[in-house]
Structure 1
Amino acid sequence: MRRIRAAAVATMVMALCACGDRGAQEPPPRPVLVERPQPAPGTSRSFPGEIRARAESPLAFRIGGQLVRREVDAGDRVARGQLLAVIDPGDFEAQARAAGARLAAAEAQLKRAAADRARYAALARDQLVSRSALDAQEAAWRAADGEARAARAQAEVARNQAGYAELRAPVDGVIASRQAEAGQVVAAGQAVFTLAADDGREVAIALPESAVGAFSVGQPVEVELWTAPGQRLRGRFREISPAADPVARTYAARVAIDEADAARVALGQSAEVHAAGAGAALSVPLSAVQGGNDGEATVWVFDDGRVHPVAVEAGEFGAERVPVASGLAADDWVVLAGGHLLRDGQAVSAVDRHNRPVGAGAQDAPAPTP
């Protein structure tokens, strides 16, 4: 009987331990909705621009001649090494043949000089010829060797010249424009095509003198296509010219569009860049702020799969948004609602307003329109 009681007690203890282990397990990640902070109303400026390729290369022949064949047209997609155009190679092929004939003659002369040198060397060992005669044959061989080397280099140059009659794409991309037609005589270096490479898309804009000092390279911005109003893509200032245009008195700038959004734009599209000047306040939705004007305001920030409370300096609460003077960065992910149900360091599953996952292994989505 005592054994039965002991067994029952042991079973109960094991069951309680198992229940304790299950209770200690971390609950599954809570789903949360997040978005990037937006510029506070009145602090963002807009600049019109045009979608351009990051690298736009004018393509030209290294030699001049008549363009006899054009294989592609503006708008065509090309691959690296693809044939684009051909100029008449007749003269260059003839020069290559002539250089090859001169090389053959030089090599024959070198072969004969080498044989003469070998014979004179054998005779010199038997003291049948003078040392000066052997030196003369040695000099003749060296001269023939030099002639052969020069002819070989000239033949290589002539072959290269003949090969330059074909214009091929240096990288993958799109033919942005065409500047020559079949039958036209083009000079060496004259642009025939402009190739927009597939290494990124940018917006070319012009900043006025009064505003250029408020922006810096690397600063995040938003890009809105005129064909898709209300949908904003993420970007950053990649380049701001240090010198103004002498006529327009504006500073050329390039805004690089994030790779995740680059596929959604086409070359030549009109776009508008929305950028907040240096020191401009950000804003978050009213539902994202915990606390009020009478106390310290807090927002929950998502980072690396978990959320953390961040104290912010909030301005006057509006009907839908709250300006934030400090405490947040433009590239933070802010939890939009449900902060009272979260705890510091809690694992969450974050999505944006388009229900796309955000975080490690997920592409950052374009920020929504404020």
Structure 2
Amino acid sequence: MARLRVFLVIAVVVMIVGVGLWLWLRPKPVAVKYVVLKRADMIVSVFPTTTSTIRSDNEVTISAQRNGRITHLPVEEGDSVAKGQIVCRLDLSEETARVFAERDQARAALTEAERTFARLQGLFSKGYVSQQEVDAAKKGRDAARALVTGLDEAAAQYEKYSVLRAPFDGVISSRPVQAGDLVTVGKPIVTIVDPTRRYISSTIDEVDVARLSLQQPVKVAIDAFPGKTFEAVVDRISPVVTGGKLETRTFETRSRFLPPVPSVKPGMSADVEILTERVAGALSVPTPAVVDRKGEKIVYRLIGGRAVATPVRIGLSNWNVTVVESGLAEGEQVILTPDVTGMGDGVRATGTAAEG
């Protein structure tokens, strides 16, 4: 009898130790966040791949047409200018002096050619020279006259090139030079934009372009106007792809503000959301909750303290939200962090409801 009691005590101790070891060695529950599914009207949106930028349809860069030194630069970035207003003066004295000297020489040569032609005409009338000599003198006079005309035009152009004016009412968006700088042909002096013809330029991933169409509503948030959202519509979808690499192929879209148009300036940044579709009573999950497993879409439900891999059929989707057409039911708990370490079908999990 004593032996039986000892055996029972040992057995109980072994069982307790075994259970303790099993409880101690078994994997700890995975900590996850979850949402409770519910139906609601859903707006499907497309978001640009990068921050959008306010631009202008009417933009021009005024560059130096001749080599020279800037003597007067009366505008700064952000200044408003009127059509015809002087934005820069260049000292072209060296080149202008050369052109004027060539023109003076050409005028003197023309005067001499005209005298020669007139003299030969008089001699021809008296029979002292041939017609060929008169014709040659006439050609010389005509060539001298053409040269003077060309140099007169060149001199006028040099005067024009020395004074640069705004071609339309606008705002100075760039001025990369300073007074006193020596500039060469083609050097940008100022860039002028028309702030009344603004649009929002956005870069859209090629996988999302098929969802876009003209006049779709756009929500615009601008850092310069915190807490405010402005309305716009898609005005243009570029037919040309940009980006040379497969992973960076994008398209540009342009959106126009709807009245009242905010007082934004070209160059400002903007966050854009293009509203592509509305689905009534949709059952949807956050897109990060959907996992692709060997071509099959799954989500993890939280059931009885365990993660359960569940195949689903999805519908409309964007970076934030995905519509679930089958596989889930309203009221179920869906895990938002399927990529957490230790996650898998059937693993124990402790869930915390996600905020919002």
* Superposition TM-score, scaled by structure 1 size: 0.57
Match of 1:156 in 2: 153
Q: Residues 223 and 273 of structure 1 are in contact (CA less than 8 Å); yes or no, is this contact kept in structure 2?
A: yes
Match of 1:119 in 2: 122
Comparing 259-268 and 181-190, the one that deviates more: 259-268
Match of 1:69 in 2: 72
Match of 1:101 in 2: 104
Cα distance between partner residues in 2 of 1:69 and 1:106? 37
**Deviation per residue, 1:263-313 (Å, 9 max, x gap):** 532333332323133xx2378xxxxxxxxxxxxxxxxxxxxxxxxxxxxxx
Please state if 1:234 is matched with 2:228.
no
Cα distance between partner residues in 2 of 1:145 and 1:231? 70
5 Å matches for 1:204-243? 204-217=201-214, 219-226=216-223, 227-240=225-238, 242-243=240-241
Q: Against the structure 1 CA distance between its residues 253 and 136, is the aligned structure 2 distance closer, same or farther, given a 3 Å change threshold?
A: same
Q: Structure 2, unaligned stretches of length 5 or more?
A: 1-40, 281-356
Q: Which has the higher strand share?
A: 2
Match of 1:348 in 2: none
Q: How big is the shift at 1:156?
A: 1.4
The Cα RMSD (Å) is 2.6
Identity %: 23
Match of 1:177 in 2: 174
**Deviation per residue, 1:210-255 (Å, 9 max, x gap):** 2122224554534343415354222323242521323671424242
Q: Against the structure 1 CA distance between its residues 216 and 240, is the aligned structure 2 distance closer, same or farther, given a 3 Å change threshold?
A: farther
Q: Structure 1, unaligned stretches of length 5 or more?
A: 1-39, 284-370
**Deviation per residue, 1:290-349 (Å, 9 max, x gap):** xxxxxxxxxxxxxxxxxxxxxxxxxxxxxxxxxxxxxxxxxxxxxxxxxxxxxxxxxxxx
**AA matched with 1:97:** F
**Deviation per residue, 1:69-92 (Å, 9 max, x gap):** 211010001112211112212113
Q: How big is the shift at 1:112?
A: 0.7
Cα distance between partner residues in 1 of 2:196 and 2:147? 42
Q: Residues 51 and 267 of structure 1 are in contact (CA less than 8 Å); yes or no, is this contact kept in structure 2?
A: yes
Partner SS, residue 210 of structure 1: helix
Q: How big is the shift at 1:101?
A: 0.6
**AA matched with 1:171:** F
Cα distance between partner residues in 1 of 2:251 and 2:182? 35
**AA matched with 2:241:** A
Cα distance between partner residues in 2 of 1:59 and 1:162? 16
**Deviation per residue, 1:99-138 (Å, 9 max, x gap):** 3312321331232133124313422xxxx335xx232022
Q: Residues 219 and 229 of structure 2 are in contact (CA less than 8 Å); yes or no, is this contact kept in structure 1?
A: no
Please state if 1:42 is matched with 2:43.
yes
Match of 1:249 in 2: 248
Comparing 222-231 and 268-277, the one that deviates more: 222-231
**AA matched with 1:272:** D
Q: Against the structure 1 CA distance between its residues 235 and 115, is the aligned structure 2 distance closer, same or farther, given a 3 Å change threshold?
A: same
Match of 1:6 in 2: none
Q: How big is the shift at 1:190?
A: 1.1
Please state if 1:267 is matched with 2:262.
no
**AA matched with 1:267:** P
Cα distance between partner residues in 2 of 1:106 and 1:148? 9
Q: Residues 233 and 258 of structure 2 are in contact (CA less than 8 Å); yes or no, is this contact kept in structure 1?
A: no
Cα distance between partner residues in 2 of 1:105 and 1:218? 67
Partner SS, residue 210 of structure 2: helix
Q: Against the structure 1 CA distance between its residues 108 and 252, is the aligned structure 2 distance closer, same or farther, given a 3 Å change threshold?
A: same
Larger Rg: 2
